[in-house]
């Protein structure tokens, strides 16, 4: 007869063996989940062309060693497009769809009531990743439709957002912002700023700086989710280096921000712009250091981009400079390629995030993206991405292949065929050859025309332009000085022939 002591010993052995196997299995599940669902940090700078970042090698660059390091460690796209204005760019990055699908063409042109129902009619990447098990957070500037990031149809769990007075005044409890304003309608995004964090107005002080608040919020989120072993999506559409009429930082020293005061002359404005970019780089460096300190570098992907060209010199223009943005990807599993000649645009970002997160099963079977995933190229499975990219702003369309550029295709402003250029390997407007109407380049022209059949241009016979808002838009849009500005580069970038050839 077996003794109770032997039975107990046997049961204990079985239990310990089971626990050991269970722990190994759990560890493998965590490891597999981590491998299949890397952490993602998506950073988007506001109103800045890629030439300001040192890695792009242009003469007017700021000192951006941390962003440059990302470019060296991963992939930096020489040619990446968004739109030439914040609203439609943010709609495109959130949905992976162009304006012809979403209706978001301009901050004042949202067709089919898309400003109110963008995420009712299109999926947001945060919602899909949340369904796939990701913790999600956003910090900075939203401006991607009237639906807010924390609404179920958008999908962010946590947020720290720069907000306007009308939104703050509507918060429960009678909150009122008492900080600085850039003008009568615009709260400060920099010094003594207006931020709402997870439903509560922050009590900011005079020496509080908006981008610091954003970075600190996201670093706290990253640390908490990392320790909880939950994959995370941290989206940082920062307010910097967008222009402001209220203060700016000096180049940081020992992590501190200096206040240089308000300046109006152009030299001081440029100094301010450089300082904002350099301080943003400093904050990016802090976030990268946080990732290293937490020991999650081998399972975190970092994407750095910008929403449109620099204000005053490129933003809102229907030329390439308006839609060309920074685009750098580095981190877990990303092949070190450095400067890449491959083409990409903002419609590629959402399918890329879905692909990395292995979240395809959370998409409806018939759901389509206008872009395509970059994952095969980024991870080295392929050495090419896509043959053309698309940019736009209001009524202008811009198309690019590696060898040709078609810009300012705009029936409303009298340029329905646009301007066609042979660019070869040249970029930044240097060496572009105007070839519109030339027989030897007809094949390229025909290819562009074929692509644009998928994306019909805006025309004034659309019902939107009979609405009050549509009429207001056209009144400004059709002013001769605005037409001239929209159809051409800023004088600092007029490196190629911009005459229109029918």
140 forms beta bridges with 161
pLDDT of residue 492: 93
Question: What proportions of the chain, in percent to the nearest 5, are helix, strand and coil?
Answer: 40, 20, 40
**Alpha helices (runs of H) in 46-85, residue ranges in sequence order:** 65-73
* pLDDT tens-place values along the chain, 502 residues long: 455 455 455 554 545 455 444 444 444 433 434 458 999 999 999 999 999 999 999 988 999 999 999 999 999 999 999 999 999 999 999 999 999 999 999 999 999 999 999 999 999 999 999 999 999 999 999 999 999 999 999 999 999 999 999 999 999 888 899 999 988 889 999 999 999 999 999 999 999 999 999 999 999 999 999 999 999 999 999 999 997 655 444 444 344 444 444 445 677 788 888 999 999 999 999 999 999 999 999 999 999 999 999 999 999 999 999 999 999 999 999 999 999 999 999 999 999 999 999 999 999 999 999 999 999 999 999 999 999 999 999 999 999 999 999 999 999 999 999 999 999 999 999 999 999 999 999 999 999 999 999 999 999 999 999 999 999 999 999 999 999 999 999 999 999 999 998 7
pLDDT of residue 469: 96
Relative to beta strand 419-422, strand 75-81 is unpaired
Q: Could you tell me the two tokens for 171?
A: 């918060």
Place of tokens 């320790």: 227
What are the strands, taking DSSP E only, across 90-186?
104-106, 109-110, 135-140, 158-162
- C-alpha dihedral sign at 208, 289, 56, 407: negative
Residues in the chain: 502
What is the spatial distance between Cα 122 and Cα 111, in angstroms, rounded to a whole number? Answer: 14
pLDDT of residue 27: 41
DSSP code of 349?
H
pLDDT of residue 2: 52
Nearest Cα to Cα of residue 75 among 302, 291, 288: 302
pLDDT of residue 341: 97
Q: Could you tell me the two tokens for 399?
A: 């198309």
Nearest Cα to Cα of residue 343 among 418, 398, 395: 398
pLDDT of residue 14: 47
Helix (H, G, I), strand (E, B) or coil at 70: helix
CA angle centred on 90, ends 109 and 68, rounded to 5°: 140
CATH of domain 33-381: 3.40.720.10
Whole-model pTM over 0.85? yes
Relative to beta strand 39-45, strand 104-106 is unpaired
What are the strands, taking DSSP E only, across 99-202?
104-106, 109-110, 135-140, 158-162, 195-197, 200-201
Portions of the chain given CATH number 3.40.720.10 = 33-381
């Amino acid at each position: 007869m077996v003794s109770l002591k032997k039975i107990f010993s046997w049961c204990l052995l079985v239990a310990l063996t089971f626990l050991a196997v269970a722990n190994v299995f759990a560890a493998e599940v965590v490891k597999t989940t981590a491998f299949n669902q890397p952490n993602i940090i998506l950073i988007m700078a506001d109103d800045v062309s890629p030439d300001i970042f040192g890695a792009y090698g242009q003469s007017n660059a700021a000192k951006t060693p941390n962003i440059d390091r990302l470019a060296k460690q991963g992939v930096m796209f020489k040619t990446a497009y968004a739109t030439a204005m914040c609203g439609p760019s943010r709609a495109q990055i959130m949905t992976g769809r162009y304006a012809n699908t979403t209706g978001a063409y301009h901050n004042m042109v949202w067709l089919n009531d898309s400003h109110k129902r963008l995420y009712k009619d299109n999926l947001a990447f945060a919602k899909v990743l949340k369904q796939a098990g990701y913790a999600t957070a956003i910090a900075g500037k939203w401006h991607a439709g009237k639906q807010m990031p924390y609404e179920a149809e958008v999908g962010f769990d946590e947020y720290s957002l720069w907000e306007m007075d009308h939104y703050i005044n509507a918060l429960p409890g009678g909150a009122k912002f008492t900080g600085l304003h850039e003008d009568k309608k615009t709260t400060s995004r920099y010094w003594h700023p207006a931020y709402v964090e997870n439903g509560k107005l922050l009590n900011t002080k005079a020496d509080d700086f908006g981008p610091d608040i954003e970075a600190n919020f996201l670093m706290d989120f990253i640390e908490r989710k990392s320790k909880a072993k939950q994959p995370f999506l941290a989206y940082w559409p920062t307010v910097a280096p967008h222009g402001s009429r209220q203060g700016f930082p000096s180049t940081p020293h020992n992590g501190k921000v200096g206040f240089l005061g308000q300046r109006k002359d152009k030299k001081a404005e440029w100094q301010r712009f450089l300082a904002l970019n350099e301080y943003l780089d400093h904050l990016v460096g802090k976030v990268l250091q946080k990732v290293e300190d937490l020991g999650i570098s081998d399972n975190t992907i970092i994407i750095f981009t910008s929403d449109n060209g620099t204000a005053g010199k490129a933003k809102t223009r229907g030329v390439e400079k308006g839609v060309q943005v920074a685009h750098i990807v580095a981190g877990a599993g990303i092949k070190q390629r450095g400067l890449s000649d491959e083409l990409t645009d903002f419609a590629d970002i959402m399918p890329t995030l879905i692909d990395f997160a292995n979240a395809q099963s959370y998409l409806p079977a018939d759901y389509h993206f206008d872009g395509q995933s970059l994952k095969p190229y980024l991870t080295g499975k392929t050495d090419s991405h896509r043959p053309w990219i698309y940019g736009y702003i209001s009524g202008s369309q811009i198309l690019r292949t590696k060898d040709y550029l078609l810009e300012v295709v705009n029936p409303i402003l009298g340029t329905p065929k646009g301007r066609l250029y042979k660019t070869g390997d040249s970029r930044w407007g240097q060496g572009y050859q105007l070839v519109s109407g030339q027989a030897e380049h007809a094949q390229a022209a025909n290819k562009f025309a074929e692509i644009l059949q998928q994306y019909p241009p805006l025309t004034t016979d659309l019902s939107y332009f009979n609405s009050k808002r549509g009429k207001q838009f056209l009144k400004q849009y059709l002013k001769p000085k605005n037409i001239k500005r929209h159809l051409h580069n800023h004088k600092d970038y007029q490196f190629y022939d911009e005459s229109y050839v029918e």
